[in-house]
Structure 1
Amino acid sequence: MASKFKELKEAKISEIKDKLGKAEAVIMVNYQGLTVEEDTELRKNLRDAGVEYKVYKNTLVTRAANELGFEKMVQYLEGPIAVAIGYEDPTVPARILNDFSKAHKALELKAGFVQGEIFDENKVKELASVPSKEILIAKLLGSFKAPISNFAYLVSAIKDKKESESSEQA
């Protein structure tokens, strides 16, 4: 029986290591005090954005984090902690959790582990204010488009002016 329990524990640690290793961002929150309805709403918001939200035993996350060399993360694994794991855009889990915590005071941002760097609660809030990757790309493309559009408008205006001058001379 003990070896079966140990196998299950090792499998869970392996699962956590796999998820942490692939993650762009891991945001840790204290969820204690959320109602079932609030927790369900939060899980849905995160799932819709492609973010995993899990509650693991802190001892298992600690072992997985230590084995991956993420020791800085361990200090925040006290009390009832849930983790939101984002695999693509590191701002998404931070943004969703931060927005949700503003409306639901029971949810408390603890820390984040983003691209190998530990973020305290304040840095997680800063990260949440960064626009998503899609918005940043759209802004970048818009900034490329503006000078080109202005140039095209200028060339068109010069062409129109020359055409009007030549028709006046004829």
Structure 2
Amino acid sequence: MEKAIIAKKQEEVSYVASQLKDAASVVVVDYLGLTVEQVTDLRKQLRDNGVQMKVIKNTILRRAVKEAEIEGLDATFTGPTAVLYSQDEVIAPAKVVSEFAKTADKLSIKGGLIEGKYADVEEINALAKLPDREGLLSMLLSVLQAPVRNTALAVKAVAEAKEQGAA
């Protein structure tokens, strides 16, 4: 019986390690003091943004980061811990939890990972202030369109000047 339990826990550690290793970003939070309604609301917001939230025992998390060879994150595994991660979006976990923390003072960010590297609370908050993927793409599109727009305006101005000179 005991071997089955150990095997199940090792399987859980391996699963958590693979999720953390493959995640674009991870945010570790302390959720102690949040009401059930607040946690439900947070989970909904996270799900809507493609972010998963898991409450995992600290011992499992410590073993998982060791197995995944992630450094620095194990210091955040104290007290009640929830792990928020996204496989695709780097900014989404930080942005959602930072916005939510403004209304829920009991929620606190402990640290996280940004593309596999440890990030402290200040780095997570700085990441949350960046525009999301759509915002960055629209900024890029605007920058790429500027030279074409400026050239079109210059050609139009030259054509208008020639029309006025011919008249």
* TM-score after normalising by structure 1: 0.93
Q: How does 1:37-56 map to 2 (within 5 A)?
A: 37-56=37-56
Q: Does residue 157 of structure 2 align to residue 151 of structure 1? A: no
What are the residue-to-residue correspondences of 1:7-156 with 2, within 5 Å? 7-156=7-156
Alpha-carbon distance in 2 for matches of 1:119, 1:14 = 23
The CA distance in 2 between the partners of 1:130 and 1:88, in whole Å, is: 16
- The superposition leaves residues 74-133 of structure 1 with CA deviations (integer Å, 9 ceiling, x where unpaired) of 011011000000112211100100110011001111101111221111111111111112
**Matched residues in 1 for 2:119 and 2:75: separation?**
12
**What letter is aligned with 1:35?**
T
CA–CA distance in structure 1, aligned partners of residues 41 and 101 of structure 2: 12
Aligned-CA RMSD value: 1.1
Equivalent-residue separation in structure 2 for 1:134 and 1:117 (angstroms): 24
More deviation in 143-152 or 43-52? 143-152
Runs of 4+ in 1 over 4 A off after TM superposition: none
Code of the residue aligned with 1:85 in structure 2: it is: Y
Q: Any unmatched runs of 5+ in structure 2?
A: none
Structure 2 distance, partners of 1:64, 1:119, is 18
Q: Which of 1 and 2 has greater Rg? A: 1
CA distance in 1, matches of 2:98, 2:33: 16
Secondary structure, aligned partner of 2:76: coil
TM-score (norm 2): 0.95
Worse-matched range after superposition: 91-100 or 149-158: 149-158
Q: Work out the CA distance in 1 between the residues paired with 2:81 and 2:103.
A: 19
